[in-house]
């Protein structure tokens, strides 16, 4: 799986009249600007159309990102799990869905989601569905995030969790919030994490049909 991408056939409605489709314009050359532990920066010189009907090469700087997966864990009582975590770049303590980078070799979005639910929340889920799949900032970053709905939750015994929390994850606070209350928090401007906001709104929409329209996770 390429960095920050998902298989094209995983995109629902790809044969619809209005649907994102794979496309790759020619890259004349490329240069790595920065390589960090979680992401990098690259410049591609891309051949693009010009105003005269020909083509021109234009530089595009962007962040190279491995992608991420998030989990909307929904209890039998209709409450959603939110975790509070410090986010230094935006200077906020943010309430978020359990989530993490797809940064383990050979691991896809679903495996990442399962792992993060165990590590951050100490939970497993029997049923998994795809809620929403989005590009976080497509004009600047290759990051793609897939949000899953997890149901049929059960606690994982502490001795089975092989993970040490540190840094921002050392003191995660947790709250179970009714789904429609979470929607009100998003619409009221109280929640700002993108995956959380989209996941909550998508889950609320899907709940109106009893989640019957959701794609099984694959």
Task: Verify whether residue 119 is a known catalytic residue.
Answer: no
Residue in 186, 102, 185, 208 with CA at minimum distance from that of residue 148: 102
Length of the chain: 218
Same domain, 154 and 177: yes
Greatest CA separation for the chain: 66
Same domain, 125 and 43: no
CATH code (residue 145): 3.90.79.10
Same domain, 82 and 56: no
Q: What is the pLDDT of residue 21?
A: 87
- DSSP labels, the chain: --TT---GGGSTTTTSSS--------EEEEEEEEE-SS-EEEEEEEEEE-TTSSEEEEEEEEEE---EEEEEEB-TTSEEEEEEEEEGGGTEEEEE-SEEE--STT--HHHHHHHHHHHHH-EEEEEEEEEEEEESSTTTB--EEEEEEEEEEEEPPGGG------GGGTT-EEEEEEHHHHHHHHHTT----HHHHHHHHHHHHHHTTTTTTPEEP-
- CA dist., res. 109 & res. 217, Å (int): 10
Its pTM stands at 0.85
Same domain, 119 and 211: yes
74 domain-assigned: yes
Same domain, 103 and 208: yes
Structural domain for 31, as ranges? 8-64
3 domain-assigned: no
Same domain, 18 and 117: no
Same domain, 94 and 129: yes
2 domain-assigned: no
Same domain, 83 and 172: yes
Half-sphere exposure of 52 (CA within 13 A, CB side): 3
73 domain-assigned: yes
Number of domains the chain is built from? 2
Same domain, 130 and 24: no
Per-residue pLDDT of the chain (218 residues; tens, 9 = 90+): 344 444 444 444 446 788 888 999 999 999 999 988 888 999 999 999 988 889 999 999 999 999 999 999 999 999 999 999 999 999 999 999 999 999 888 889 999 999 999 999 999 999 999 999 999 999 999 999 999 999 999 998 887 777 666 666 667 899 999 999 999 999 999 999 999 999 999 999 999 999 998 988 97
Same domain, 60 and 83: no
Q: Which of 169, 175, 180, 181 is an active site residue?
A: 169
- CA dist., res. 206 & res. 167, Å (int): 35
Same domain, 109 and 48: no
Q: What is the pLDDT of residue 82?
A: 98
Residues 6+ apart with CB under 8 A from 17: none
193 domain-assigned: yes
Q: What is the pLDDT of residue 165?
A: 63
- CA dist., res. 15 & res. 21, Å (int): 9
Same domain, 56 and 93: no
Q: Is the Cα torsion angle 18, 19, 20, 26 positive or negative in sign?
A: negative
How many other C-beta atoms lie within 10 A of the C-beta of residue 24?
Answer: 6
Report whether 10 contacts 19 (CB < 8 A).
no
């Amino acid at each position: 799986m390429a960095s920050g991408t998902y298989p094209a056939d995983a995109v629902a409605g790809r044969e619809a009249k209005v649907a994102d489709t794979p496309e790759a314009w020619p890259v004349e050359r490329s240069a790595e600007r920065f390589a960090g532990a979680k992401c990098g920066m690259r410049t591609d010189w891309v051949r693009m159309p010009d105003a005269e009907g020909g083509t021109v090469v234009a530089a595009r700087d962007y962040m190279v990102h491995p992608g991420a997966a998030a989990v909307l864990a929904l209890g039998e009582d209709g409450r959603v799990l939110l975790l509070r975590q410090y986010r230094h770049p935006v200077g906020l303590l943010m309430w978020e869905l359990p989530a993490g980078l797809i940064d383990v070799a050979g691991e896809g979005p679903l495996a990442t989601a399962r792992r993060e639910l165990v590590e951050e929340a100490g939970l497993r889920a029997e049923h998994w569905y795809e809620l929403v799949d989005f590009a976080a900032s497509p004009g600047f970053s290759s990051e793609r995030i897939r949000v899953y709905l997890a149901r049929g939750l059960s606690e994982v015994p502490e001795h089975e969790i092989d993970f040490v929390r540190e840094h921002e994850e050392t003191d995660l606070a947790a709250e179970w919030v009714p789904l429609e209350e979470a929607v009100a928090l998003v619409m009221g401007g109280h929640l700002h994490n993108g995956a959380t906001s989209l996941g909550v709104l998508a889950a609320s929409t899907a709940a109106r049909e009893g989640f019957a329209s959701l794609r099984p996770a694959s």
